[in-house]
């Protein structure tokens, strides 16, 4: 036995395991792939091995995937072969490394904690190589890697990961700068980690982190600005570091230094932080455990889970800083459904109360309270969510009886934060807190605030301060009455938590046990009525709603005897196979000619009730294989779908079953996206997706578009993974419903994460998903301008993955304002950078209004002038001559009658002048091109004196060209402002004295402030003797 055990040992080289652990499926698969690669290459030279692998890859998708995964696994487990295997991987892969990227993400999200040391090191090495190679989607992998760096953890492994990830970002800075989301995510991550790295032995790492964050904040502040208000919170925590203090002072007092478009700290504080950022500071394991507690653990049974979490993540002194991340995540990301809120699942406020009461540091406690109230300070009812502010008020409300000290300290903090958060913005903070409290009452989170603010358990000074700060929410002092009223109003919550909330912050301190006993003894005095109400509260949820046969009795009586017997039989059995057999018999009864259609509604109600559990939880298997997909569509409810698929549409039973499904849809709307999933996942339904259209027309909605959008919305709310899985099929099968508007696209980008975005982009590039088409893409992108920042960036990434010419959407530039649409402008800027300018592109870029802070046009023209100067010169010449030949008056009228920016001659000249200034200290010879100089001569000959003076430096270039064409080279000109051939209206040419006077005036004009822009009257006629 000993040799066998020794032989088996080397097989598990990827993941840590014990003798009791079953072999990991992923590791087994990767080992099989390694075996395949080694079998193909053993005994061959490098060239022969490469040929053998190439031949195998060309056989099909499965062989391609196996070879790629085999080489990927060798990179992780064989450091000496890593360089060669990565080279082979780059040469052999046919999908832009998609297979590898997906597996890296899977390992990072699911297996990273189990990785052995060598694979862990090699995985980071591989990510570095992918970044060096510029692989599309590598930014998503880097963001997933950053997520694995735990906050509040200074163990050697965590510090190594933080430093290794930072080295990748520093070494590949140019690559990082191409991804706005990666910039923001990395700055958010390292600003948070700096707080943990204050020990003397960590100062070198902290300095690297500080330098990185400062460089990104200084160079790319607009990308960092998308973080929102939590950027201010993180900067506030590190503002005492000297280098950071300078950034902090600029943020508060000199915002334009960071970015011309940044108006001040209030702009950040009023922007809600996306849940993507709040979630990025929890490792996948932390996130999984928290989500489990808030969705599966019953209130009152949470102590052992909290104890485990405490031991694992919150047991050290430095881990205290993690509490803020947890609280921000719970408030901003964990938003339970109404079904969970009304159940006995552990509520969010109980977890936050536990985090507050177990805090051992005063600084960490203050930061935790600020994290809890942070969304209150600048709360806007139109932009912010009630779910972000609900936990704080409920912690105070439910702690009043068992732990009044917690309520008191939170109320005191809420009052004192108003004047002390940032004195110049005291009125805005006061208004934000007032908005929060008002919205809490409007949404009936609490019916009244007076019992909380004016409670006799609070000391007199605090009650007085609350009356002073919030007189609108404090009634006249009559505490007993108010408390009694509160108990009656919030009985729904109090009844089922009264016996549990005393222990909801369970910890090791004896004080809370004493409180619990005291409150329980008080609770005994409440009488049996309270106990009965508690009983009433719980039993319907546990038993009556789901399992009691009485639930379907009212409908059973409406069924005929045969059908009634089958439904009862279905109710009694819990075996899936038996249920499927009974369900098939029910379908057969429906298809019989003597089936009474009147009982359809009652039957649908019975089935919806009996199959309620089938519509809970995830539909899509964790690991997607043919077997798991077939198993997932083998539920009894899928029998109806299977029968529909096998029928012809002209069959009489087809319409009957559709009617049955439509009735079911009214009772259980989730059946819609379950049908979509069946039609995609089931082999039997292959090619039958259009069956959904017949279903949609049979429903009460009667419209495919409406039905599809409602079902996808329900899917979005229930299961984002399923939404992404269905997306390619939905777009390909229903192009007219999905591609004509941005409704479905908005649903998708509102909930996907960076990994899912990358997967969708891969689908697009492989041709299995088309999300835009030429005739509607422009309208969709214009619609997206009102979406959230991450949603817009995701939309643009998906668009750029398509092969739609940029000229198709370039007119969107007319809709973009530099302060309101930085997301679209930054994406367009990067794309224009890669394009060769066409006439339409140049026209649209020049049509942007000139503004000192808007550098879009100048930066684009400057880049083109260095790469495509001849082409750009010809296009600008064409625009100058075209707009110069149009009557000024007509231009003016046209501009005023349209909301969109229109190209005028003055705009072109302003942009060219800005470009001239931008190129003034470079070796770029753009303005020495003949077409540009000829066009400037043409314009100068016909424009009025005001424009000649205003753009004298620009026209001087044309005069030098004219002089060089007509005379031998002279000494440097004496600043003539206009050509001798220039006209004003139809006046004859000016004499030399007038020319001299004009030149003198131009020099004076240069020494004075510029005339205000856009004052030109469009009344001057065009000269007739142009070049």
pLDDT digits (tens, 9 = 90+) for 436-480: 999 999 988 988 888 899 888 888 899 999 988 888 888 644 433
Span of 327-341, 453-467, 645-659 with lowest mean pLDDT: 645-659
Q: What is the pLDDT of residues 566-600, one digit of tens each?
A: 888 888 888 888 888 888 888 888 888 777 777 88
Contact predicate 838/805, CB 8 Å: no
Q: Residue 509: left (phi > 0), alpha (psi -120 to 50), or beta? A: beta
Contact predicate 753/276, CB 8 Å: yes
Alpha-helix residue ranges (DSSP H) falling in 767-868: 777-783, 789-801, 822-834, 839-846, 856-867
172: three-class secondary structure by DSSP: coil
Helices (H) and strands (E) in the chain, counts: 58, 0
Q: Cite the beta strand spans of 426-521 per DSSP E.
A: none
Residues with Cβ within 8 Å of residue 348, at least 6 apart in sequence: 294, 330, 331, 334, 336, 390, 391, 394
Among 503-507, 534-538, 959-963, top mean pLDDT goes to 959-963
More confident position, 46 or 1023:
46
Count how many residues are written for the chain.
1027
Contact predicate 65/92, CB 8 Å: no
**Average pLDDT of span 156-177:** 96
**Average pLDDT of span 275-282:** 95
Cα–Cα distance list, 746 to 449, 585, 669, 790, 806 (Å)? 37, 42, 21, 11, 21
Give the whole-angstrom CA distance, residue 271 versus residue 383: 8
pLDDT tier for residue 168 given thresholds of 50, 70 and 90: very high
Task: Say what the pLDDT of residue 517 is.
Answer: 37
1019: three-class secondary structure by DSSP: coil
Contact predicate 678/633, CB 8 Å: yes
Give the whole-angstrom CA distance, residue 186 versus residue 182: 6
**Average pLDDT of span 710-725:** 89
pLDDT tier for residue 965 given thresholds of 50, 70 and 90: low
Contact predicate 890/883, CB 8 Å: no
Task: Say what the pLDDT of residue 436 is.
Answer: 95
Q: What is the pLDDT of residues 101-119, one digit of tens each?
A: 999 999 999 999 999 999 9
Which one-letter DSSP state was computed for residue 79?
A: G
pLDDT at residue 910 tops 90: no
Span of 134-148, 255-269, 549-563, 653-667 with lowest mean pLDDT: 549-563
Q: What is the pLDDT of residues 762-785, one digit of tens each?
A: 999 999 999 998 888 998 999 899
Q: What is the pLDDT of residues 817-858, one digit of tens each?
A: 888 889 889 988 888 888 888 888 888 888 888 888 888 888
Span of 448-452, 660-664, 990-994 with lowest mean pLDDT: 990-994
What is the reported pTM? Answer: 0.53
pLDDT tier for residue 660 given thresholds of 50, 70 and 90: confident
pLDDT tier for residue 603 given thresholds of 50, 70 and 90: confident
Q: Quick count: other Cβ atoms within 10 Å of Cβ 439?
A: 18
Q: 482 is written with which tokens?
A: 């108010």
Task: Say what the pLDDT of residue 887 is.
Answer: 55
Burial of 190 (0-12, 13-18, 19+ CB in 10 A): buried
100: three-class secondary structure by DSSP: helix
More confident position, 884 or 229:
229
pLDDT at residue 532 tops 80: no
Question: What's the half-sphere exposure (Cβ side, CA atoms, 13 Å) at 516?
Answer: 15
More confident position, 936 or 505:
936
pLDDT tier for residue 141 given thresholds of 50, 70 and 90: very high
Q: Quick count: other Cβ atoms within 10 Å of Cβ 832?
A: 21
Task: Say what the pLDDT of residue 659 is.
Answer: 85
- Single out the residue of 741, 827, 761, 845 nearest to residue 789, CA to CA: 827
Contact predicate 264/221, CB 8 Å: no
**Average pLDDT of span 15-19:** 81
pLDDT tier for residue 529 given thresholds of 50, 70 and 90: very low
Q: 727 is written with which tokens?
A: 């997306």
Report the Cα 1023 to chain-centroid distance in Å.
Answer: 56
Cα–Cα distance list, 285 to 288, 290, 299, 751, 954 (Å)? 5, 9, 22, 20, 62
Give the whole-angstrom CA distance, residue 564 versus residue 547: 18
Q: Quick count: other Cβ atoms within 10 Å of Cβ 869?
A: 17
pLDDT at residue 1020 tops 50: no
pLDDT tier for residue 228 given thresholds of 50, 70 and 90: very high
Which one-letter DSSP state was computed for residue 316?
A: S
Q: 299 is written with which tokens?
A: 């209130």
Task: Say what the pLDDT of residue 722 is.
Answer: 92
Alpha-helix residue ranges (DSSP H) falling in 58-113: 61-77, 82-92, 98-106
Mean pLDDT, the chain, integer: 81
Give strand pairing partners of 15.
115
pLDDT tier for residue 665 given thresholds of 50, 70 and 90: confident
- Single out the residue of 828, 724, 761 nearest to residue 137, CA to CA: 761
- Single out the residue of 905, 902, 891, 913 nearest to residue 1010, CA to CA: 913
Task: Say what the pLDDT of residue 386 is.
Answer: 93
More confident position, 22 or 493:
22
Looking up tokens 């394009």 gives 835
């Amino acid at each position: 036995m000993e040799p066998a055990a020794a032989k088996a040992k080397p097989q598990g080289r990827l993941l840590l395991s014990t003798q009791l652990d079953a072999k990991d499926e992923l590791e087994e698969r990767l080992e099989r792939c390694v075996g395949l690669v080694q079998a193909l290459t053993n005994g061959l030279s490098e060239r022969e091995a490469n040929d053998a692998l190439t031949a195998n890859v060309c056989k099909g998708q499965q062989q391609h995937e196996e070879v790629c995964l085999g080489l990927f696994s060798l990179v992780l487990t064989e450091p000496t072969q890593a360089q060669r295997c990565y080279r082979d991987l780059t040469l052999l892969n046919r999908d832009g490394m998609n297979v590898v990227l997906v597996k890296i993400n899977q390992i990072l999200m699911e297996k990273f904690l189990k990785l052995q040391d060598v694979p862990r090191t090699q995985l980071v090495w591989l990510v570095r190589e992918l970044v060096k190679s510029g692989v599309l989607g590598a930014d998503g992998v880097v963001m997933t890697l950053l997520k694995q760096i735990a906050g509040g953890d200074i163990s050697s492994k965590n510090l190594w990961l933080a430093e290794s990830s930072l080295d990748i970002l520093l070494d590949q800075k140019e690559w990082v700068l191409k991804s706005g989301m990666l910039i923001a995510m990395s700055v958010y991550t390292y600003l948070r980690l700096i707080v943990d790295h204050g020990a003397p032995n960590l100062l070198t790492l902290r300095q690297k982190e500080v330098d990185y964050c400062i460089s990104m904040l200084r160079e790319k502040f607009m990308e960092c600005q998308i973080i929102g208000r939590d950027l201010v919170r993180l900067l506030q925590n590190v503002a005492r570091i000297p280098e950071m203090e300078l950034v902090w002072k600029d943020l508060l007092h000199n915002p334009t230094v960071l970015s011309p478009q940044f108006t001040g700290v209030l702009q950040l504080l009023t922007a809600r932080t996306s849940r993507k950022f709040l979630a990025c500071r929890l490792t996948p394991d932390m996130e999984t455990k928290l989500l489990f507690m808030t969705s599966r653990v019953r209130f009152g049974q949470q102590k052992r889970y909290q104890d485990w979490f405490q031991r694992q993540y919150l047991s050290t002194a430095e881990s205290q800083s993690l509490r803020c991340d947890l609280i921000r995540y719970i408030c901003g990301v964990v938003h339970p459904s109404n079904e969970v809120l009304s159940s006995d699942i552990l509520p969010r406020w109980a977890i936050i109360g536990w985090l507050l009461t177990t805090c051992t540091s005063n600084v960490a406690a203050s930061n935790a309270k600020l994290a809890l109230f942070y969304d209150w300070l600048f709360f806007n009812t139109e932009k912010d969510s009630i779910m972000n502010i609900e936990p704080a008020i409920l912690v105070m409300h439910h702690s009043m009886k068992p732990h009044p000290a917690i309520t008191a300290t939170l109320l005191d903090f809420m009052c004192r934060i108003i004047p002390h958060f940032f004195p110049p913005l005291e009125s805005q903070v006061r208004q934000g807190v007032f908005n929060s409290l008002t919205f809490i009452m409007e949404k009936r989170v609490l019916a009244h605030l007076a019992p909380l603010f004016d409670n006799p358990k609070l000391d007199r000074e605090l009650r007085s301060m609350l009356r002073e700060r919030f007189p609108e929410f404090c009634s006249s002092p009559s505490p007993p009455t108010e408390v009694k009223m509160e108990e009656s109003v919030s009985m729904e919550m109090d009844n089922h938590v009264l016996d549990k909330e005393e222990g909801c912050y369970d910890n090791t301190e004896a004080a809370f046990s004493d409180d619990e006993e005291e409150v329980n003894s008080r609770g005994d005095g409440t009488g049996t009525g309270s106990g009965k109400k508690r009983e009433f509260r719980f039993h319907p949820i546990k038993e009556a709603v789901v399992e009691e046969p009485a639930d379907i009795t009212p409908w059973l009586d409406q069924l005929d005897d045969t059908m009634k017997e089958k439904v009862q039989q279905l109710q009694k059995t819990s075996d899936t196979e038996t249920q499927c057999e009974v369900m098939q018999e029910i379908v057969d009864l429906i298809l019989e000619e003597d089936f009474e259609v009147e009982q359809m509604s009652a039957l649908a109600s019975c089935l919806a009730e009996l199959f309620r559990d089938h519509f809970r939880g995830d539909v899509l298997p964790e690991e997607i294989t043919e077997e798991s997909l077939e198993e997932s569509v083998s539920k009894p409810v899928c029998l109806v779908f299977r029968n529909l698929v096998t029928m012809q549409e002209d069959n009489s039973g087809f319409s009957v079953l559709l009617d049955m499904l439509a009735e079911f849809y009214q009772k259980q709307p989730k059946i819609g996206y379950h049908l979509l999933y069946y039609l995609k996942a089931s082999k039997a339904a292959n090619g039958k997706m259009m069956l959904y259209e017949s279903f949609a027309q049979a429903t009460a909605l009667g419209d495919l578009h409406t039905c599809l959008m409602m079902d996808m919305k329900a899917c979005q709310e229930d299961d984002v993974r399923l939404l992404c899985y269905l997306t390619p099929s939905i777009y390909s099968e229903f192009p007219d419903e999905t591609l004509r508007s941005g409704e479905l696209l908005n649903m998708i980008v509102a909930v996907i994460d960076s990994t899912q975005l990358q997967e969708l982009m891969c689908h697009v590039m492989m041709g299995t998903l088309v999300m835009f088409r030429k005739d509607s893409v422009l309208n969709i992108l214009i619609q997206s301008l009102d979406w959230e920042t991450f949603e817009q960036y995701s939309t643009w990434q998906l668009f750029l993955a398509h092969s739609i010419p940029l000229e198709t959407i370039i007119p969107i530039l007319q809709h973009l304002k530099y302060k309101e649409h930085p997301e679209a402008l930054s994406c367009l800027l990067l794309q224009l950078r890669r394009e060769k300018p066409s006439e339409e592109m140049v026209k649209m870029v020049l049509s942007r209004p000139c503004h000192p802070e808007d550098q879009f046009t100048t930066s684009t023209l400057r880049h083109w002038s260095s790469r495509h100067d001849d082409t750009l010169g010809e296009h600008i010449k064409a625009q100058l001559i075209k707009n110069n030949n149009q009557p000024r008056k007509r231009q003016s009228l046209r501009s005023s009658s349209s909301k969109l920016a229109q190209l005028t001659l003055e705009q072109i000249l302003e942009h060219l002048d800005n470009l001239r200034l931008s190129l003034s200290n470079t070796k770029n010879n753009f303005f020495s091109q003949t077409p540009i100089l000829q066009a400037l001569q043409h314009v100068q000959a016909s424009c009025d004196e005001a424009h000649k003076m205003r753009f004298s430096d620009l026209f001087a270039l044309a005069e030098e060209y004219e002089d060089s064409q007509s005379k031998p080279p002279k000494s440097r000109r004496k600043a003539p402002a206009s050509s001798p051939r220039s006209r004003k209206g139809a006046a004859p040419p000016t004499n030399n004295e007038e020319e001299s006077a004009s030149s003198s005036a131009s020099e004076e004009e240069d020494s004075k402030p510029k005339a205000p822009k856009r004052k030109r009257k469009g009344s001057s006629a065009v000269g007739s003797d142009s070049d």
